[in-house]
Structure 1
């Protein structure tokens, strides 16, 4: 999920809550699943339960892999009576909540992940040619599936992509309703793995 990143001026009404449609298939982040999890991992793995943020608690029942052994599907079952915001939603305790988007309504978007331009904090110190200090990995372009409201975003509109940082709809390449393109402005610190 993405959160609009703007302050609500005094006297104005905040935008209404968004409605998310859940279906039989949802996209999740690849790093939210481990077939054989490391110690302390709380996200999705066979036999573990997690909450789909704003949705149900699910239990992982297994996964499917391609010929190279890469996980291509995660199988899970919904635990009835656990929909967020309903009586009994907390009847099953999940140690983690993961973000998701419905396969049926998710929209493909180009996401540009910018990193440091230089691999050296002082790229031209001591007479060095700063060109040699350019970071070859300063831009990574990925395809992501986003909630439908992001496809309608206006160029230059800002968002927080939960767990990933702050993004802005590209002012040139983003075409509302046609071609969603988002640029990462700054990332968030992730405590996992520390």
Structure 2
């Protein structure tokens, strides 16, 4: 039954890939605004200014950290089974959940040899502070806790379609894919599927099919 569901959902994603891509916000500024929530990212990408319900706070990219599995170690130039990385800078595209006001932000963790390692976090504004959730990308190994993920590559766009979080990322060859995360018990949502919008040299942008079975 799960296999049939995955195949059906994948077919729907493929059929609607163009519409999904168009639904993602194409922002010419670094940040975004929806309702009472406003986000602005500094010119150098190292800080984010979040205003919600009239209260503002500043968040640094290097305060965002996550345990990454099977990602490139830029110091050793090799694949590392596990490493904890802090953000270097924010991606300029953000998504704001129209119902909750939560903010999805992309963070570049490191980059080398034409490769970026990135992750997406969801910020839940709470008064003058916030709670932080990591959007988890599955992979070959089981994620041990909510602080762990497989990496995303070069972030292209982030946005919400309804309550679903959509993240588009790509690689140096020109391949690109959109991952979908649906509402769950955590503001970060749960991985639901992935569809390629462009394929050049590789197919490493979507998790293995087995994780959806």
TM-score, scaled to structure 2:
0.32
Q: Which has the higher contact order (CA 8 A, sep 6+)?
A: 1
Larger helix fraction of residues: 2
Larger strand fraction of residues: 2
